C-alpha cells in the first residue's frame, strides 16, 4: 500500500458488482495463458463489444483493481487479484458441492456456478467448504484458491506437451468447460484421477493416441492441450 488513497478512488464493497467480478475473473484467467491481456480478448470472453471493455477498464483502474495502459493492455493489482481469487474460490467450491452433495455431473455445474459465485455469503461459503472437508481441487481438477488467496500447489504437464515415451500418466485436470466435450471425456473415462497410457503422438499438431483400459483413442491436439497429467509415482 504505497499509493495514497483518495476519497474518489476508494474501493468499497458496493463498487464490486457481479459485472466487476466477471471482468476481474476474466483478466485473471486470460493472464494464465501467458499473453498480456488486451481489450479484444476481454470483449470476446465477456460477450460484450470492445468499447464497453474500454469503459469498464477505466472504472476498474479508478478503483485500483487493475493497472491499465491505454492501447497496451491490463494487469490485476494485488487487490484486484484477491477479488478474482475469491470469486474463483466460490466458483470451484460451488461446482464441487453441486457434484458431491446434489448429484450433478461435471458437465452441468459450470453454468450454475458461474451465476451463484457472485451471490453466496461468506457464511455459506464457509459451510460449503466445511461440508466438503476444505478441498483443494474441484471436479475438473482445477485448484481451489485458499481463503487467504493463495493457490494450492499444482504441477502438471499438458497431455499435448508431455514427452510420449509410452508412459502411464495420471490425469489431474481437465481445463474445459464445454458440456458436450466434458460428456465425451466422461464417456471414454478420461476424468481427473484416471490413469491413461500415451501410445503415440503425431508430430506437430497431429492427434495423440492414448489408451484407457484397453481402448485406444485418438485425441485432437487442441483438446490434449487442455488435459493436464502427471507421471505416476511408484
Residue 141 C-beta: closest distance to DNA, Å: 30
Residue 72 C-beta: closest distance to DNA, Å: 7
* Interaction between residue 19 and its own copies (CB under 8 A): no
Report the residue number, 19 or 115, with the smaller CB distance to its own copies. 115
Q: What x-and-dash track marks residues 73-112 binding its own copies by CB under 8 A?
A: -------------------------x--xxxx---x--xx
Contacts of 168 (CB under 8 A, 6+ apart): 195, 196, 197, 232
* Interaction between residue 67 and DNA (CB under 7 A): no
- Yes or no: say if 222 and 143 are a contact pair by the CB < 8 Å rule: no
* Interaction between residue 38 and DNA (CB under 7 A): yes
54 binds, among its own copies, DNA, none (CB under 5 to 8 A by kind): DNA
How would you list the strands of the sheet with 195-201, edge to edge?
A: 157-158, 227-231, 168-174, 195-201, 208-212, 215-219
Span 42-61, contacts to its own copies by CB under 8 A: none
Which of 40, 44, 55, 115 contacts its own copies by CB under 8 A? Answer: 115
Count of positions (residues) in the chain: 234
Task: Select the span of 35-43, 81-89, 179-187, 214-222 touching DNA (CB under 7 A).
Answer: 35-43
Furthest C-alpha separation in the chain: 65
Per-residue burial over 137-170, b = 16 or more CB atoms within 10 Å of its CB, e = otherwise: bbbbbbbbbeeeeeeeeeebeebbebebeeeebb
Q: What ranges in the chain are assigned the alpha helix state H?
A: 18-31, 39-46, 50-62, 78-102, 109-116, 122-131, 179-188, 221-224
Which of 31, 45, 48, 211 contacts DNA by CB under 7 A? Answer: 48
Report the residue number, 115 or 218, with the smaller CB distance to DNA. 115
Taking alpha carbons only, the member of 52, 99, 103, 41 closest to residue 74 is 41
Site residues (vs DNA, CB under 7 A) = 15, 17, 19-20, 38-41, 46-59, 68, 70-73
Q: Which residues bind its own copies (CB under 8 A)?
A: 98, 101-104, 108, 111-112, 115-116, 119-121, 123-124, 127-128, 131
Amino acid at each position: 500500500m504505497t499509493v495514497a488513497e483518495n476519497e474518489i478512488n476508494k474501493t468499497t464493497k458496493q463498487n464490486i458488482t457481479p459485472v466487476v467480478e466477471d471482468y476481474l475473473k476474466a483478466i485473471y484467467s486470460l493472464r494464465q495463458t501467458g499473453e498480456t491481456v488486451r481489450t479484444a480478448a476481454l470483449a470476446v470472453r465477456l460477450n460484450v463489444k470492445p468499447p464497453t471493455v474500454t469503459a469498464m477498464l477505466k472504472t476498474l483502474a479508478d478503483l485500483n483493481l487493475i493497472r491499465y495502459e491505454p492501447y497496451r493492455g491490463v494487469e490485476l493489482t494485488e487487490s484486484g487479484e484477491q477479488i478474482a481469487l475469491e470469486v474463483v474460490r466460490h466458483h470451484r467450491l460451488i461446482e464441487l458441492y453441486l457434484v458431491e452433495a446434489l448429484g450433478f455431473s461435471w458437465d452441468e455445474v459450470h453454468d450454475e456456478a458461474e451465476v451463484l459465485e457472485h451471490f453466496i455469503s461468506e457464511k455459506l461459503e464457509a459451510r460449503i467448504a466445511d461440508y466438503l472437508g476444505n478441498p483443494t481441487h474441484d471436479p475438473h481438477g482445477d485448484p481451489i484458491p485458499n481463503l487467504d488467496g493463495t493457490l494450492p500447489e499444482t504441477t502438471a504437464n499438458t497431455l499435448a506437451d508431455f514427452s510420449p515415451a509410452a508412459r502411464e500418466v495420471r490425469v489431474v485436470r481437465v481445463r474445459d468447460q464445454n458440456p458436450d466435450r466434458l460428456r465425451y471425456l466422461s464417456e471414454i473415462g478420461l476424468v481427473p484421477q484416471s490413469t491413461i497410457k500415451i501410445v503415440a503422438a503425431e508430430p506437430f499438431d497431429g492427434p495423440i493416441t492414448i489408451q484407457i483400459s484397453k481402448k485406444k483413442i485418438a485425441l485432437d491436439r487442441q483438446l490434449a492441450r487442455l488435459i493436464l497429467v502427471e507421471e505416476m509415482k511408484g
